[in-house]
Amino acid sequence: MWECEVSTEIAAPVEAVYRYLADFPRHKEWSIGVAELEPITNGEIRVGSEFKAAETVPVKFVSFSRITALEPPRRIAWESWDNRTMRVEWAFEIEPVDGRTRLVQRARIQPTSLFGRVMLNLMRKRQVPGENRRSLDRIKATLEAGT
User: Does residue 52 lie within any of the structural domains?
Assistant: no
Average pLDDT over residues 121-147: 94
| Domain span including residue 122 | 2-23+67-144
- What is the tens place of the pLDDT at every residue in 52-77? 999 998 889 999 999 999 999 999 99
Residue 147 scores a pLDDT above 70: no
Which burial class, exposed, middle or buried, applies to 40 when counting CB atoms under 10 A from its CB (0-12, 13-18, 19+)?
Answer: exposed
Residue pair 77/94 in contact (Cβ under 8 Å)? The answer is no
Q: Is residue 130 part of a domain?
A: yes
Helix (H, G, I), strand (E, B) or coil at 127: helix
Residue 76 belongs to some domain of the structure: yes
Q: What stretches of 2-137 adopt beta strand conformation (E)? A: 2-10, 34-39, 50-55, 61-71, 75-81, 86-97, 100-111
Domain assignment present for residue 6? The answer is yes
Number of domains comprising the chain: 1
What is the pLDDT, as a whole number, of residue 146?
Answer: 84
Amino acid at 65: S
Q: Give a yes or no: residue 54 inside a domain.
A: no
Span 18-50, pLDDT tens digits: 999 999 999 999 998 899 999 999 999 999 999
Which CATH number is 107's domain given? 3.30.530.20
Confidence grade of residue 145 (pLDDT, cut at 50, 70, 90): very high
Predicted local confidence at residue 7, as pLDDT: 98
Q: Is 8 among the domain residues?
A: yes
134: phi then psi, degrees, rounded to nearest 5: -65, -35
Q: 102-118: per-residue pLDDT in tens? A: 999 999 999 999 999 99
- pLDDT score recorded for residue 47: 98
Q: pTM surpassing 0.95?
A: no
- 139 lies in a domain? yes
What is the pLDDT, as a whole number, of residue 57? 85
Residue 57 domain flag: no
